[in-house]
Amino acid sequence: RTWSPARARRVNASRRACLIARFGCIFAQERLDAECTLRTFICNMEMVQRIIYIAAVESFRAAKMAFWKIKINVKDMLALNHLGPGSLEAAALDYIVCHKDLYDVFESVHEVICSMNTNSMISCPPVVDFIVISTLIRELCSVAFSMQTLVPPLDIAFGVDGELFNRTMYYRSFDSDFTAPFVAYHIWPALMENGAVIVKGEVVTKK
Distance of alpha carbon 71 from alpha carbon 54, whole angstroms: 26
**Backbone φ and ψ of 32, nearest 5°:** -65, -35
Per-residue pLDDT of the chain (207 residues; tens, 9 = 90+): 445 667 778 888 999 999 999 999 999 999 999 999 999 999 999 999 999 999 999 999 999 999 999 999 999 999 988 776 678 898 899 999 999 999 999 999 999 999 999 998 888 877 789 999 999 999 999 999 999 999 999 999 999 999 999 999 999 999 999 999 999 999 999 999 999 999 999 999 998
| pLDDT value at residue 2 | 47
Distance of alpha carbon 55 from alpha carbon 115, whole angstroms: 9
**Backbone φ and ψ of 166, nearest 5°:** -115, 110
Q: What is the pTM of this model?
A: 0.92
- Judge whether 16 and 154 are in contact, CB under 8 Å: yes
In sequence order, which ranges of 79-188 are alpha helices (DSSP H)? 88-98, 105-117, 134-147
| pLDDT value at residue 186 | 98
List the one residue out of 154, 159, 155 whose CA is nearest residue 186. 159
| pLDDT value at residue 85 | 67
| pLDDT value at residue 4 | 62
